[in-house]
Amino acid sequence: MRLKGKTAIVTGASNGMGSSESKLFASEGANVVLADVDSEAGQQLVEEISEGGGNAHFEICDVSNEENWQSMTSNVLAKYGSVDILVNNAGISSTSTSDLLSTDAWNNIMEVNSTGVFLGTKTAAEIMKSQGGGSIVNISSIMGFVGGEYGHPAYHASKGSVRIFSKAMAVRYGPFGVRVNTVHPGFMPPMTSSDHGIASKRDEYVAQTPLRRTGESIEVAYGVLFLASDEASFVTGTELVIDGGYIAQ
């Protein structure tokens, strides 16, 4: 029960890593707010968590919309009285266009991956400041450290911005007891699931990873849990890489 009595918001919670994080947080005693645009999957996850004895609540939230953030956090405060943890997990890895230098594609990816993290972090940080502390975990990527063939160039740029922005916010809000850290997953579903469905691509990713396999979302969730919990009370402004050794090369 490492999060007993804490209220945690997880964006992009309905599927993938967000789903794993939400279920793990609930099992550790948190009141989990599932924030997503996919209400059907979100409500199903609320039922699953509730049936397992956890406490979960769904809120519609387009992370690129500031009004959505204000409305959602107001609802959370009214229901639970605090926002102790925020996991900015929502993100997209590509667009429908094949033009890697499309301005529309750039704006689309940046709005979700970068602006969404900015809006969530600043909203939660101010709430946590008034409460005397809290933990924000922003999900970046190994592509926030290095370039590569995988992903849209805007994806790399957006994840790099998450990394440095989080450091700046850690410094700014540290005096108020607010911790801000980033997690950098390697190759794993569902963000790269379309490629993983192609055997040659999957084998290529595995061959580039020292542990010789792709990751699992629960492996990321455990890292996020550590940073969100009081066990990481002296950890802020840093990165946790969960990539099977990919960027150690």
Per-residue pLDDT tens over the stretch 24-37: 999 999 999 999 99
pLDDT on residue 174? 98
Q: Which of the four pLDDT bands, split at 50, 70 and 90, describes residue 248?
A: very high
Q: Which of the four pLDDT bands, split at 50, 70 and 90, describes residue 149?
A: confident
Average pLDDT value over all residues in the chain = 93
Mean pLDDT of 209-233: 96
Q: Residues 85, 29: contact at Cβ < 8 Å? A: no
Q: In the chain, where does DSSP find H-type helix?
A: 16-27, 39-51, 66-80, 103-110, 116-131, 153-173, 193-196, 199-208, 217-228
In the predicted structure, residue 190 carries a pLDDT above the cut 80: no
CA-atom Rg of the chain in angstroms:
17
Q: 7-248 has which CATH code?
A: 3.40.50.720
Taking residue 226's Cβ as centre, other Cβ atoms within 10 Å add up to: 16
pLDDT on residue 28? 98
In the predicted structure, residue 183 carries a pLDDT above the cut 90: yes
In the predicted structure, residue 192 carries a pLDDT above the cut 60: no
Give which of 158, 147, 166, 159 is closest to 185, Cα–Cα.
159
From CA 5, how far away is CA 28, in angstroms rounded? 10
In the predicted structure, residue 98 carries a pLDDT above the cut 90: no
Mean pLDDT of 88-103: 83
Give the active site residue among 80, 155, 173, 246.
155
Cβ neighbours of residue 13 closer than 8 Å, sequence gap 6 or more: 19, 21, 22, 32, 33, 34, 35, 36, 42, 45, 89
Tokens linked to 52: 């397992």
In the predicted structure, residue 49 carries a pLDDT above the cut 70: yes
Whether 155 is catalytic: yes
